[in-house]
Amino acid sequence: MINRFLIFLLLIVLGCSSKQNSKEVSKEILQLDSLTSDSFEKMFSPKFDWETVDIKTSDDEKRKLIGLHSPWIRDENINERYLAGVHVVDFNGDGVNDFIYSGEGPATLMTIISVDSAGFSDFSIISNMDIINGKVKRLYLQSIIGTGGPAVEGYSIVDIVYSGNSPRFVRRIDCEEIAGITFPKEYSNFEVESISDTIIGRSEPIELDTPYQWVLELPGNQLGKITKGTKAIVAAQTKDSLNNEWFFTLINPGFKIHGYSYMNMTFDPNDKRHRIVWSKGAGWKKVN
Protein backbone atom coordinates (compact mmCIF):
# COMPACT_ATOMS: atom_id res chain seq x y z
CA MET A 1 0.00 0.00 0.00
CA ILE A 2 2.81 2.38 0.99
CA ASN A 3 4.76 1.53 -2.18
CA ARG A 4 1.73 2.28 -4.35
CA PHE A 5 1.24 5.58 -2.54
CA LEU A 6 4.89 6.54 -3.08
CA ILE A 7 4.69 5.66 -6.78
CA PHE A 8 1.49 7.69 -7.12
CA LEU A 9 3.12 10.67 -5.37
CA LEU A 10 6.20 10.40 -7.60
CA LEU A 11 4.04 10.39 -10.75
CA ILE A 12 2.27 13.55 -9.56
CA VAL A 13 5.58 15.32 -8.88
CA LEU A 14 7.01 14.27 -12.27
CA GLY A 15 3.81 15.32 -14.01
CA CYS A 16 3.86 18.75 -12.39
CA SER A 17 7.56 19.16 -13.26
CA SER A 18 6.89 18.14 -16.88
CA LYS A 19 3.98 20.60 -17.15
CA GLN A 20 6.11 23.37 -15.65
CA ASN A 21 8.94 22.68 -18.14
CA SER A 22 6.42 22.59 -20.97
CA LYS A 23 4.98 25.94 -19.84
CA GLU A 24 8.46 27.47 -19.67
CA VAL A 25 9.33 26.28 -23.19
CA SER A 26 5.95 27.46 -24.53
CA LYS A 27 6.45 30.84 -22.85
CA GLU A 28 9.90 31.18 -24.43
CA ILE A 29 8.54 30.28 -27.88
CA LEU A 30 5.70 32.78 -27.42
CA GLN A 31 8.15 35.54 -26.56
CA LEU A 32 10.27 34.75 -29.61
CA ASP A 33 7.24 34.43 -31.85
CA SER A 34 6.74 38.18 -32.11
CA LEU A 35 8.45 40.09 -34.90
CA THR A 36 8.94 43.80 -34.32
CA SER A 37 10.18 46.74 -36.33
CA ASP A 38 13.53 46.13 -34.62
CA SER A 39 13.52 42.54 -35.94
CA PHE A 40 13.01 43.75 -39.51
CA GLU A 41 15.72 46.38 -39.17
CA LYS A 42 18.19 43.74 -37.94
CA MET A 43 17.21 41.42 -40.79
CA PHE A 44 17.29 43.91 -43.68
CA SER A 45 19.80 46.50 -42.37
CA PRO A 46 22.18 44.44 -40.21
CA LYS A 47 24.89 46.05 -38.10
CA PHE A 48 26.80 43.30 -36.34
CA ASP A 49 30.41 43.09 -35.21
CA TRP A 50 31.75 39.56 -34.74
CA GLU A 51 34.45 40.93 -32.44
CA THR A 52 31.79 41.44 -29.77
CA VAL A 53 31.32 37.66 -29.45
CA ASP A 54 34.49 36.09 -30.87
CA ILE A 55 36.85 34.27 -28.50
CA LYS A 56 40.44 34.85 -29.65
CA THR A 57 41.62 31.81 -31.60
CA SER A 58 44.82 31.23 -33.58
CA ASP A 59 44.75 30.32 -37.26
CA ASP A 60 46.15 26.86 -36.45
CA GLU A 61 43.31 26.24 -34.00
CA LYS A 62 40.80 27.45 -36.59
CA ARG A 63 42.24 25.01 -39.15
CA LYS A 64 41.75 22.15 -36.70
CA LEU A 65 38.15 23.23 -36.05
CA ILE A 66 37.44 23.40 -39.78
CA GLY A 67 38.74 19.85 -40.12
CA LEU A 68 36.43 18.67 -37.33
CA HIS A 69 33.27 20.54 -38.30
CA SER A 70 33.56 21.39 -42.01
CA PRO A 71 34.99 18.35 -43.83
CA TRP A 72 33.93 19.75 -47.21
CA ILE A 73 36.76 22.32 -46.97
CA ARG A 74 39.99 20.57 -48.01
CA ASP A 75 43.19 21.52 -46.20
CA GLU A 76 44.79 23.02 -49.27
CA ASN A 77 41.79 25.34 -49.74
CA ILE A 78 41.77 26.81 -46.23
CA ASN A 79 42.81 30.35 -47.07
CA GLU A 80 42.24 33.66 -45.29
CA ARG A 81 38.64 33.89 -46.54
CA TYR A 82 37.69 30.57 -44.96
CA LEU A 83 39.57 31.35 -41.76
CA ALA A 84 37.71 34.67 -41.49
CA GLY A 85 34.46 32.71 -41.47
CA VAL A 86 35.45 30.65 -38.41
CA HIS A 87 34.14 31.95 -35.08
CA VAL A 88 34.63 30.49 -31.63
CA VAL A 89 31.89 31.74 -29.28
CA ASP A 90 30.09 30.71 -26.11
CA PHE A 91 26.82 30.22 -27.99
CA ASN A 92 24.67 28.91 -25.14
CA GLY A 93 26.27 30.67 -22.16
CA ASP A 94 27.62 27.51 -20.50
CA GLY A 95 31.26 28.60 -20.42
CA VAL A 96 32.28 26.13 -23.14
CA ASN A 97 33.62 27.27 -26.52
CA ASP A 98 31.34 26.50 -29.48
CA PHE A 99 32.05 26.46 -33.22
CA ILE A 100 30.46 28.61 -35.90
CA TYR A 101 31.45 28.75 -39.55
CA SER A 102 29.68 31.42 -41.59
CA GLY A 103 31.08 32.34 -44.97
CA GLU A 104 31.84 30.78 -48.36
CA GLY A 105 30.55 27.24 -48.87
CA PRO A 106 31.29 24.49 -51.40
CA ALA A 107 28.92 26.07 -53.92
CA THR A 108 27.34 29.10 -52.25
CA LEU A 109 27.23 30.68 -48.79
CA MET A 110 27.30 28.35 -45.79
CA THR A 111 26.64 28.48 -42.04
CA ILE A 112 27.49 25.58 -39.73
CA ILE A 113 26.92 25.72 -35.97
CA SER A 114 28.05 23.06 -33.50
CA VAL A 115 27.02 23.55 -29.87
CA ASP A 116 26.42 21.09 -26.99
CA SER A 117 26.09 18.10 -29.37
CA ALA A 118 23.40 20.00 -31.35
CA GLY A 119 23.96 21.31 -34.87
CA PHE A 120 22.56 23.68 -37.46
CA SER A 121 23.51 24.21 -41.10
CA ASP A 122 22.11 26.47 -43.80
CA PHE A 123 23.09 27.87 -47.21
CA SER A 124 23.45 31.39 -45.83
CA ILE A 125 25.64 33.61 -43.70
CA ILE A 126 24.87 35.07 -40.27
CA SER A 127 24.36 38.82 -40.58
CA ASN A 128 23.14 39.55 -37.05
CA MET A 129 22.09 37.89 -33.80
CA ASP A 130 20.20 38.59 -30.59
CA ILE A 131 21.94 37.60 -27.36
CA ILE A 132 19.88 37.53 -24.17
CA ASN A 133 21.37 36.68 -20.77
CA GLY A 134 24.51 35.30 -22.40
CA LYS A 135 22.68 32.99 -24.83
CA VAL A 136 22.16 33.46 -28.55
CA LYS A 137 18.37 33.56 -28.94
CA ARG A 138 17.91 34.68 -32.55
CA LEU A 139 19.92 34.48 -35.78
CA TYR A 140 19.50 36.73 -38.80
CA LEU A 141 20.64 35.12 -42.06
CA GLN A 142 21.32 36.27 -45.63
CA SER A 143 21.49 33.97 -48.64
CA ILE A 144 21.73 33.87 -52.42
CA ILE A 145 18.61 32.18 -53.86
CA GLY A 146 19.16 32.82 -57.57
CA THR A 147 22.01 34.35 -59.55
CA GLY A 148 20.66 34.80 -63.04
CA GLY A 149 18.02 36.96 -64.69
CA PRO A 150 17.42 38.51 -62.14
CA ALA A 151 19.50 37.82 -59.03
CA VAL A 152 17.44 36.98 -55.93
CA GLU A 153 18.62 37.32 -52.34
CA GLY A 154 17.15 35.75 -49.22
CA TYR A 155 16.68 37.00 -45.66
CA SER A 156 15.71 34.76 -42.75
CA ILE A 157 15.24 34.70 -38.99
CA VAL A 158 15.92 31.56 -36.95
CA ASP A 159 14.97 31.45 -33.28
CA ILE A 160 16.81 29.32 -30.74
CA VAL A 161 14.87 27.60 -27.94
CA TYR A 162 16.86 25.93 -25.18
CA SER A 163 16.32 22.83 -23.10
CA GLY A 164 18.97 23.41 -20.45
CA ASN A 165 22.01 24.31 -22.55
CA SER A 166 20.93 22.32 -25.60
CA PRO A 167 19.57 24.54 -28.41
CA ARG A 168 16.75 23.83 -30.83
CA PHE A 169 16.70 25.92 -34.02
CA VAL A 170 13.25 27.12 -35.11
CA ARG A 171 12.90 28.86 -38.48
CA ARG A 172 10.77 31.96 -37.92
CA ILE A 173 10.50 33.69 -41.30
CA ASP A 174 12.01 33.50 -44.80
CA CYS A 175 11.91 36.39 -47.28
CA GLU A 176 13.24 37.01 -50.77
CA GLU A 177 13.90 40.15 -52.77
CA ILE A 178 14.94 40.71 -56.34
CA ALA A 179 18.37 42.32 -56.11
CA GLY A 180 18.26 46.06 -56.58
CA ILE A 181 15.23 46.78 -54.42
CA THR A 182 15.55 49.92 -52.28
CA PHE A 183 15.66 49.19 -48.56
CA PRO A 184 13.98 51.54 -46.08
CA LYS A 185 15.75 53.65 -43.47
CA GLU A 186 13.12 53.17 -40.76
CA TYR A 187 11.01 50.10 -40.03
CA SER A 188 7.53 49.27 -38.72
CA ASN A 189 5.38 46.14 -38.40
CA PHE A 190 1.69 45.57 -39.10
CA GLU A 191 -0.46 43.26 -41.22
CA VAL A 192 -2.52 44.28 -44.25
CA GLU A 193 -4.89 42.87 -46.86
CA SER A 194 -5.28 44.16 -50.40
CA ILE A 195 -8.58 45.88 -51.21
CA SER A 196 -7.63 46.58 -54.82
CA ASP A 197 -6.96 44.55 -57.97
CA THR A 198 -4.62 47.18 -59.39
CA ILE A 199 -1.69 47.36 -56.95
CA ILE A 200 1.69 47.32 -58.68
CA GLY A 201 4.62 45.89 -56.74
CA ARG A 202 7.71 47.98 -57.40
CA SER A 203 11.42 47.95 -56.63
CA GLU A 204 11.37 51.36 -54.96
CA PRO A 205 8.79 53.73 -53.48
CA ILE A 206 8.48 56.05 -56.46
CA GLU A 207 6.63 56.12 -59.77
CA LEU A 208 9.56 56.05 -62.16
CA ASP A 209 7.34 56.08 -65.25
CA THR A 210 4.99 59.09 -65.57
CA PRO A 211 1.76 60.16 -63.84
CA TYR A 212 -0.37 59.00 -66.82
CA GLN A 213 -2.28 55.81 -66.02
CA TRP A 214 -1.81 54.17 -69.42
CA VAL A 215 1.98 54.62 -69.21
CA LEU A 216 2.06 53.22 -65.65
CA GLU A 217 1.24 49.81 -67.09
CA LEU A 218 4.60 49.77 -68.88
CA PRO A 219 7.38 47.76 -67.16
CA GLY A 220 9.25 50.67 -65.52
CA ASN A 221 10.39 49.53 -62.07
CA GLN A 222 7.56 47.00 -61.75
CA LEU A 223 8.04 43.63 -60.05
CA GLY A 224 4.49 42.37 -60.55
CA LYS A 225 0.80 42.92 -59.92
CA ILE A 226 -0.97 42.29 -56.59
CA THR A 227 -4.69 41.45 -56.55
CA LYS A 228 -7.53 41.89 -54.08
CA GLY A 229 -7.45 39.63 -51.01
CA THR A 230 -3.65 39.30 -50.91
CA LYS A 231 -2.29 39.37 -47.35
CA ALA A 232 1.07 40.78 -46.33
CA ILE A 233 3.24 42.26 -43.60
CA VAL A 234 4.28 45.89 -43.83
CA ALA A 235 7.84 46.20 -42.54
CA ALA A 236 8.28 49.91 -43.35
CA GLN A 237 6.45 53.01 -44.54
CA THR A 238 7.54 56.12 -46.40
CA LYS A 239 6.15 58.92 -48.59
CA ASP A 240 7.24 60.12 -52.01
CA SER A 241 7.58 63.72 -53.20
CA LEU A 242 3.87 63.83 -54.08
CA ASN A 243 2.96 62.72 -50.51
CA ASN A 244 1.84 59.25 -51.64
CA GLU A 245 2.24 56.65 -48.88
CA TRP A 246 4.29 53.55 -49.73
CA PHE A 247 4.62 50.22 -47.94
CA PHE A 248 7.69 47.98 -47.85
CA THR A 249 5.49 44.93 -48.29
CA LEU A 250 6.27 41.30 -47.43
CA ILE A 251 3.71 39.35 -49.46
CA ASN A 252 2.59 36.33 -47.43
CA PRO A 253 3.41 32.81 -48.68
CA GLY A 254 0.69 31.30 -50.83
CA PHE A 255 -0.31 34.58 -52.52
CA LYS A 256 0.64 35.21 -56.10
CA ILE A 257 2.38 38.28 -57.51
CA HIS A 258 1.25 38.24 -61.15
CA GLY A 259 4.16 38.71 -63.52
CA TYR A 260 6.77 38.32 -60.76
CA SER A 261 10.01 38.07 -62.70
CA TYR A 262 11.71 35.18 -60.93
CA MET A 263 11.73 31.49 -61.94
CA ASN A 264 10.15 32.27 -65.33
CA MET A 265 7.12 33.77 -63.59
CA THR A 266 6.03 30.39 -62.22
CA PHE A 267 4.10 30.25 -58.94
CA ASP A 268 4.35 27.64 -56.20
CA PRO A 269 1.57 28.03 -53.57
CA ASN A 270 3.51 25.73 -51.22
CA ASP A 271 6.58 27.95 -51.14
CA LYS A 272 7.03 29.35 -47.62
CA ARG A 273 8.91 32.55 -48.51
CA HIS A 274 7.57 36.10 -48.29
CA ARG A 275 8.19 38.13 -51.47
CA ILE A 276 9.26 41.75 -50.93
CA VAL A 277 7.96 44.66 -53.02
CA TRP A 278 7.19 48.32 -52.53
CA SER A 279 3.50 49.14 -53.04
CA LYS A 280 1.22 52.14 -52.60
CA GLY A 281 -0.49 52.18 -49.23
CA ALA A 282 -3.80 53.30 -50.75
CA GLY A 283 -4.51 49.77 -52.03
CA TRP A 284 -4.32 48.09 -48.60
CA LYS A 285 -6.32 47.93 -45.35
CA LYS A 286 -4.84 47.11 -41.96
CA VAL A 287 -5.94 43.86 -40.29
CA ASN A 288 -5.64 42.52 -36.70
- For the stretch 93-139, pLDDT in tens is 999 999 999 998 878 899 999 998 889 999 999 999 999 999 999 99
Residue range 138-167, pLDDT digits in tens: 999 999 988 776 789 999 999 999 999 999
Q: Is the pLDDT of residue 262 over 90?
A: no
- Once rounded to an integer, what is the mean pLDDT over residues 253-275? 82
CA 212 to chain centre: 38
Q: What pTM, to 2 d.p., does this model score?
A: 0.82
Q: Report which DSSP code applies to 53.
A: T
CA distance 116 to 165: 7
Q: Is the pLDDT score of 264 beyond 60?
A: no
DSSP state of 195: -
CB 250 within 8 A of CB 274: yes
Rounded average pLDDT over 63-68: 82
